[in-house]
Amino acid sequence: MPESGPSSTRTRVLPIAERLDADTKYAGRGVTIAFLDSGFYAHPDLTTPYNRIAAYHDLFAPRAGLEALERSDVSSWHGMMTSVVAAGNGALSAGQFRGLAWEANVVLVKVGSAHRIVHDDIRRGLDWVLANRERYGIRVLNISCGGDYEESFLTDPLSRAADEASRQGIVVVAAAGNAGHLADHQVLPPASAPSVLAVGGLDDGGAGQRSQHYHSSYGLTIDGLQKPELIAPAIWVAAPILPGTTTAAEARLLKRLDEASDDKLFALLDAHAGADADLDAIAGRREPYLVRQIVAAKLRDRRVLSGHYKHVDGTSFAAPIVASVVAQMLEANPALRPHQVRRILMTTARGTPGIALERQGWGVVQPRAAVEAARGMGAG
């Protein structure tokens, strides 16, 4: 059953559309977004009421079909989250936690695992997207992973592939990385490539009520380019919990306990004895306030929003927000070329006081203004 999100008085994690004042008339209709990531899962937010997964390709098992997306394993988590953040329709949250491009089609390309994504494998994934862009109508590419080392775009095959994708009409969006708190906070390929929109992070508190920097990577690339170009929410982002995992079962139990009346609380605990040692330890005391204290602490510590969603952080999730804005723009004006999309996003972004310019680039992405500018731009 679909579940509503949490009370805003408890978490204040609001949908991205509200936090960025997006125009929800646009949903990426007719646009295909490709994703390069460690793995994927056919989440209901992408497959119901109809399946919007246009294709799946596994670099390491090229014959694998869409049925491979039904398996829950640790490598599925990250790509499932990035694709749903951009294009999920919120099927398991009654539409609440849906992405801005919630009617876009998606192409999912597995380029690694939860343990490792290799620089050259990202390049191989890019090559596959280029070879199949016309077949699947790919207009946007989200890359929420980074290479292993810094190299000039003049010689790095990954950066060159990203720039070629842009020349071929694909808007490439990449996470800047999360090293802004370190002395070595460089932006690595492919985000460092000239034509790639590198996305850094914003901490808006989950409700759009504050603006402070997230610890995203930033600075001059080896070629002297300033990155990132834009920032978007990179913390307090609602993302799906992988179905069929112990984390999913725990989240559902915690939310049921949180919402249960006192007279039903201990029946639930008894029915789920053994599921949580902390809850088992106090179940026999039959004191509701103790149970509620533990449940509240666990919901907070595990960042649970509902039985199906939690909040996550990282520029891995800021990038697909920008990719979803691009899909909205291309719905509004399919004739736009990548350089036009880039220009519009940068000129409509809002600079944010209190965040160093080198950390925010042109500022926070502004979906409504970007779509409006896209609508008014002719081909060229």
What would the pLDDT profile of 183-203 be if each residue is shown by its tens digit? Answer: 989 999 999 999 999 999 999
pLDDT of residue 316: 98
- Are 273 and 160 in a shared domain? no
What is the rounded CA–CA span in Å between residue 127 and residue 2?
38
Note whether residue 156 is domain-resident.
yes
**Residue 143 is inside which H or E element, if any?**
strand 138-143
Note whether residue 11 is domain-resident.
no
Tokens of 231: 């920032």
- Are 220 and 262 in a shared domain? no
Has residue 51 got a pLDDT over 70?
Answer: yes
Q: What pLDDT band is residue 284 in, cutting at 50, 70 and 90? A: confident
Q: Pick 7 or 247 by higher pLDDT.
A: 247
- Are 258 and 168 in a shared domain? no
pLDDT in tens, 116-161: 999 999 999 999 999 999 999 999 999 999 999 999 999 999 999 9
106 forms beta bridges with: 33, 53
pLDDT in tens, 53-111: 999 999 999 999 999 999 888 999 999 999 999 999 999 999 999 999 999 999 999 99
What is the rounded CA–CA span in Å between residue 139 and residue 374?
15
Specify the number of domains making up the chain.
2
Has residue 2 got a pLDDT over 80?
Answer: no
What is the rounded CA–CA span in Å between residue 104 and residue 331?
9
3-state secondary structure string across 206-264: CCCCCCEECCCCCEECCCCCEECCEEEECCCEEEECCCCCHHHHHHHHHHHHHHCCHHH
pLDDT of residue 6: 36
Amino acid at the residue 58:
D
Has residue 10 got a pLDDT over 80?
Answer: no
Note whether residue 7 is domain-resident.
no
pLDDT of residue 285: 80
Q: What pLDDT band is residue 11 in, cutting at 50, 70 and 90? A: low
Q: Which of 301, 328, 348 is the last residue of a domain?
A: 301
What is the rounded CA–CA span in Å between residue 336 and residue 359?
28
- Are 228 and 152 in a shared domain? yes
CATH of the domain at 343: 3.40.50.200
- Are 126 and 236 in a shared domain? yes
Percentage of the chain surpassing pLDDT 90?
86
The answer to whether residues 236 and 206 touch, using CB atoms and an 8 Å cutoff, is yes
What is the rounded CA–CA span in Å between residue 74 and residue 192?
28
Three-class SS state of 267? helix
pLDDT of residue 209: 83
The DSSP annotation for 114-134 comes to SS---HHHHHHHHHHHHHHHH
The closest alpha carbon to 323, from 204, 169, 198, belongs to: 198
Note whether residue 195 is domain-resident.
yes
What is the rounded CA–CA span in Å between residue 380 and residue 378?
6
pLDDT of residue 377: 85
Query: Mean pLDDT over residues 230-252, rounded?
Result: 95
Has residue 1 got a pLDDT over 90?
Answer: no
pLDDT of residue 102: 98
Three-class SS state of 198? strand
- Are 191 and 255 in a shared domain? no
- Are 287 and 341 in a shared domain? no
For 135-151, b/e burial (b = at least 16 CB within 10 A) is eeebbbbbbbbbbeeeb
- Are 162 and 265 in a shared domain? no
- Are 287 and 154 in a shared domain? no
Note whether residue 6 is domain-resident.
no
Note whether residue 171 is domain-resident.
yes
The answer to whether residues 345 and 367 touch, using CB atoms and an 8 Å cutoff, is no
Q: Which of 259, 279, 301 is the last residue of a domain?
A: 301
Q: Give me the residue label for tokens 């119901």.
A: 48
The answer to whether residues 355 and 228 touch, using CB atoms and an 8 Å cutoff, is no
pLDDT in tens, 206-225: 998 889 999 999 999 999 99
Q: How many CB atoms lie within 10 A of CB 334?
A: 12
Has residue 378 got a pLDDT over 80?
Answer: no
CA 263 distance to own-chain centroid = 39
Which residues carry out catalysis? 37, 78, 316
What is the rounded CA–CA span in Å between residue 224 and residue 8?
43
Radius of gyration from C-alpha coordinates of the chain: 21
Output the average pLDDT for the chain: 94
Note whether residue 2 is domain-resident.
no
- Are 136 and 262 in a shared domain? no
Q: Which of 301, 322, 342 is the last residue of a domain?
A: 301
Query: Mean pLDDT over residues 35-50, rounded?
Result: 98
- Are 75 and 190 in a shared domain? yes
Query: Mean pLDDT over residues 5-17, rounded?
Result: 65
Could you tell me the residue range of the domain that residue 270 belongs to?
A: 246-301
pLDDT of residue 12: 78
Has residue 7 got a pLDDT over 70?
Answer: no
Note whether residue 324 is domain-resident.
yes
Has residue 9 got a pLDDT over 50?
Answer: no
Query: Mean pLDDT over residues 166-184, rounded?
Result: 96
- Are 228 and 263 in a shared domain? no
The closest alpha carbon to 122, from 145, 101, 149, 93, belongs to: 145
